[in-house]
Amino acid sequence: MKVNEKKVSPSSVIGTASIDLMGETVELPIVEGSEGERAIDIRTLRKRTGYITLDDGYTNTGSCESAITFVNGEDGILRYGGYPIEQIARSTTFPEVALLLLQGAPPPARELKRFSQKLTEHAMLHEGLRHHFVGFPPEAHPMAILSAMINSVSCYHPDLLRIGDEEHLLDAAAKLLSKVRTIAAFSYKKSLGEPMIYPDAERGYVSNFLHMMFSKPYTEYEPSDEEVRAIQLFFILHADHEQNCSTATARMVGSSGANLFASVAAAVCALWGPLHGGANTNVIKMLEKIHEGGDSLSATIDRVKRKEELLWGFGHRVYKSSDPRVKLLRKACHDVFQAKGISDPLLDIAQELEQIAVKDDYFVERKLYPNVDFYSGILLRAIGIPLNMYTVMFAIGRMPGWIANWAESWRHGSRIHRPRQIYTGSTERDFVPIDRR
């Protein structure tokens, strides 16, 4: 493949839309994607008419064409590379999903083996990087550490700042995917004041992560198969979700020519926000408050309806009937509890809250249903992942999606992302120097 070859649009033009702009008629192409989604292609609109479109929050704007992930929010469908998430969740591993997203097809066994070997080889951090952790205060948020450390990793791999070909990209992807796991575990150990635990080359991706999180120099942590399966599922279900806030950020930053590490570090920051990946932490805080008797379910719902707070883990920009990941996560919670012989009152509270909300007019009218963050924290709690690491877990899971989207844009040579605005400030006026103001 030729790098940065200019893309010929793969969507088909199926007709034209006529727009009446205060008496002037403009014809614009209508394009259709492979799943029948249609868009009015406005790329030439301003050049031809002087008009732009205004779309705060990009509710109705397609920022790119992408062949990676398909979401149909009306019917609750999610597919990676055409494969339904339910099948992916049942039959794959996280490294396999990462390759599927990056390369567009499930990898042959030998390719997956080679990639898994790369993940093992690159799990270590340069000793210089290990010393960076000393500089963070004990209470530093692990998302701040993760973003800073991803940029720091790039300082030790200057050869990866400019990707040359597909093999080079694969190498960068393996290094990123492998090292974020080590960074996440080291930041947790740092917050506890415990020694960092080095990766173990005999373990798979998830088991190695849990080992670095929970082993101590004098006790080796051995996760059960159920625990490994649960975290694997968590990562897979978070692996990609088309043009969400953090993925769009990775693409936007990358569109300036910024390297993969800088783009992904920016995506981590976008994910941190409570309206995005940070919601998984707030869901648990909300459920804990109810459990501790601070709040009844109905009082919580009433406050949400008075708009005094959000029902965390509810609502989605795209899903308007159900998020298919929710069912899989809810079931995974039950499976892990059963396997471990434990229970968690927060799961009962969450299920009750969901039942109340989905029958309440406020939520029905606004098409608000549980999203991926509603049950994911309960699953993480069952494995012993601490609350301040939940969004980091999301970030590790979303890493393949960020890399794949950055790579798609790099392959096709995207234009710099540069939205316009409608200026509403003062019109021209004369500046008055400070002594005369």
At 25, give phi and psi (nearest 5°): -95, 130
Number of residues that bind ligand ACO (CB under 6 A): 20
Residue 425's SS3 state is: coil
Question: Which one, of 262, 270, 240, lies nearest residue 160 by Cα?
Answer: 262
- Residues 76, 142, 254, 277: which binds ligand ACO (CB under 6 A)? 277
* Residue 69 binds ligand ACO, judged by CB under 6 A: no
Least CB distance from residue 429 to ligand ACO, whole Å?
Answer: 35
Smaller CB separation from ligand ACO, 199 or 324: 324
Site for ligand ACO in 86-115 (CB under 6 A): none
- Residues 7, 141, 303, 317: which binds ligand ACO (CB under 6 A)? 317
- Residues 88, 100, 368, 403: which binds ligand ACO (CB under 6 A)? 368
Smaller CB separation from ligand ACO, 129 or 347: 347
Beta-ladder partners of 18: 27
Establish whether 225 is a catalytic residue. no
Contact 205, 181 (CB under 8 A): yes
* Residue 43 binds ligand ACO, judged by CB under 6 A: no
Smaller CB separation from ligand ACO, 209 or 394: 394
For residues 15-39, b (16+ Cβ closer than 10 Å) or e, as one string?
A: eeeeeeeeeeebebbbbebeeeeeb
Site for ligand ACO in 238-257 (CB under 6 A): 244
For residues 43 and 419, give the distance between their C-alpha atoms in angstroms, rounded to a whole number.
Answer: 12
Least CB distance from residue 196 to ligand ACO, whole Å?
Answer: 29
Residues 6+ apart with CB under 8 A from 275: 245
- Residues 96, 227, 354, 373: which binds ligand ACO (CB under 6 A)? 373
Site for ligand ACO in 324-353 (CB under 6 A): none
* Residue 311 binds ligand ACO, judged by CB under 6 A: yes
* Residue 354 binds ligand ACO, judged by CB under 6 A: no
Smaller CB separation from ligand ACO, 144 or 318: 318
Applying CB under 6 A, the span of 162-170, 192-200, 248-256, 274-282 interacting with ligand ACO comes to 274-282
Residue 73's SS3 state is: coil
Question: Which one, of 416, 398, 422, 423, lies nearest residue 63 by Cα?
Answer: 416
Smaller CB separation from ligand ACO, 29 or 142: 142
Environment class of 382 (CB within 10 Å of its CB; exposed 0-12, middle 13-18, buried 19+): buried
Q: Which amino acid appears at position 428 of this protein?
A: E
Contact 243, 64 (CB under 8 A): yes
CA distances to 263, 380, 397 from 76, in Å? 29, 24, 20
* Residue 279 binds ligand ACO, judged by CB under 6 A: yes
Report the run of H or E that residue 91 belongs to, with start and end.
helix 85-91
Applying CB under 6 A, the span of 30-38, 40-48, 198-206, 310-318 interacting with ligand ACO comes to 310-318
Per-residue binding letters, 204-243, with ligand ACO (x by CB under 6 A): ----------------------------------------
Q: Please identify which of the residues 141, 373, 412, 417 carries the catalytic annotation.
A: 373
Applying CB under 6 A, the span of 5-13, 212-220, 365-373, 423-431 interacting with ligand ACO comes to 365-373
Q: Please identify which of the residues 316, 323, 360, 430 carries the catalytic annotation.
A: 316
Question: Which one, of 388, 353, 97, lies nearest residue 240 by Cα?
Answer: 97
Q: Which long-range contacts (CB under 8 A, 24 or more apart) does 75-80 make?
A: 75/321, 76/319, 76/321, 76/322, 76/323, 76/324, 77/324, 78/241, 78/323, 78/324, 78/325, 80/239, 80/240
Binding residues for ligand ACO, rule: CB under 6 A, are: 57, 244, 275-277, 279, 304, 310-317, 366, 368, 371-373
Residues recognised as catalytic: 316, 373
